[in-house]
A = this chain, B = another copy of it.
């Protein structure tokens, strides 16, 4: 896979059906995003949920109803340019598909939310280990005992992703990831998983377990899966999300979204 592929090229590859895989590490340096599509009728409450819980659910773009081309990726079409989508009816997953053209209508509102791939790139550039990438796995993700602030019918526990680091590496990771406030920013916790209500790090709720080596502590970041869980929690007639790891790749560069 050509790591230097541009975001636009990757999206065309996906649209034409030649790429249905995960997007981790693809078009490196471009901001990837979580997708949520839902009916206009509940769009206010979902945007409110994201605003009230901006650390796990940082809003990169919200499209007008019926619109498929985001401001952060000119020429893109959100109904075709993700490698895989999940379709939920009344809160139950009913399908997993490679385009959602037939499900999209004039009343559908699309939300793009920041994803931790941006700060993983920055961590690697700073010489920090990203264990899930080293092991070729999906990052370990856990539901926590911390409820998000609800909005209308939307609710969810805070979901976190975890990467093991030595304490000194964790200090550096706080510095490196703080700049990425639109992609979850600084960690929410480090050390004892029980503080977050996590019983067993070897059994993540989403993604894969990774090795934690002697001298390492688990470091936890707010995770975009929170937005998918909350979108589905409202049990709307129709909700569409990306499939985990199969993100939307925008034209924004990671460095364009840092706060300083």
Interface on A for B, CB 8 Å cutoff? Answer: 40, 43-44, 47-48, 51-52, 59, 62, 64, 71, 149, 151, 175, 178-179, 181, 185-186, 259-260
Contacts and interface: CB of A to CB of B under 8 A. Distances in A.
Contact of A51 (B52, B62, B179, B259): B62
A74 to B, nearest CB: 14
A211 to B, nearest CB: 30
25 contacts: A40-B44, A43-B44, A44-B44, A47-B47, A47-B48, A47-B51, A48-B62, A51-B51, A51-B59, A51-B62, A52-B62, A52-B71, A64-B151, A71-B149, A175-B260, A178-B259, A178-B260, A179-B259, A179-B260, A181-B181, A181-B259, A185-B259, A186-B260, A259-B259, A259-B260
A178 B259 CA distance: 7
Contacts of A47: 44, 47-48, 51
A53 to B, nearest CB: 12
Contacts of A178: 259-260
Contacts of A260: 175, 178-179, 186, 259-260
A52 B71 CA distance: 10
Contacts of A175: 260
Contacts of A186: 260
A230 B10 CA distance: 37
A178 B177 CA distance: 15
A202 B92 CA distance: 61
A223 to B, nearest CB: 19
Nearest to A177: B260
Nearest to A181: B259
A222 B52 CA distance: 22
Given A52-B71, A178-B260, 15 more contacts: A40-B44, A43-B44, A44-B44, A47-B47, A47-B48, A47-B51, A48-B62, A51-B59, A52-B62, A71-B149, A175-B260, A181-B181, A181-B259, A185-B259, A260-B260
A180 to B, nearest CB: 10
Contacts of A185: 259
A47 B259 CA distance: 22
A58 to B, nearest CB: 10
Nearest to A178: B260
Q: Which 8 A-B pairs have the closest CB atoms?
A: A44-B44, A178-B260, A259-B259, A181-B259, A51-B59, A47-B47, A48-B62, A43-B44
